[in-house]
Structure 1
Amino acid sequence: MHESKKRTLNLTPSSNIQAGGKKRMLDGSPHKLKGPFGANDTEDWQKQFLVQSRELRRLEKLNEFLELERECNA
């Protein structure tokens, strides 16, 4: 039981820092909390991520098809 109290005391400074960070994030407009990028940049990044992940899935299926085709022709 003594050890668990010691652990919580050790974790307190880092949790205070995190709480401070959260408190700062709650102040001000939520639209300004996008980090170094603006809201449009974040949306563009998300769209680009979706496009790339779909393209990756498409290419993986195409590669799988081509491998099967090669095996059948060999």
Structure 2
Amino acid sequence: MSKTAEAVWQESQSLAESERLELAARILDSVRADGLDWALDDADFAAELDRRSADQDTGHSWADIRSELERDL
């Protein structure tokens, strides 16, 4: 995770649960704008988040991940 993303994460922990949920929804909406359509309570979405997190740790680029996702859709 980038330093900026880590800072956002740390800051988000001081928010009320309702504010964190609103923030998560807004972030999800920004992903939907890229053509993806998942819901926060979707098990496949949670699995995809886990996979992306693991991929980031292994150094896969967003371009590679996005191409893979588009192939799978």
> TM-score by structure 2 length?
0.29
More helix by share: 1
By relative contact order (CA 8 Å, sep 6+), the higher-ranking structure is 2
> TM-score by structure 1 length?
0.29
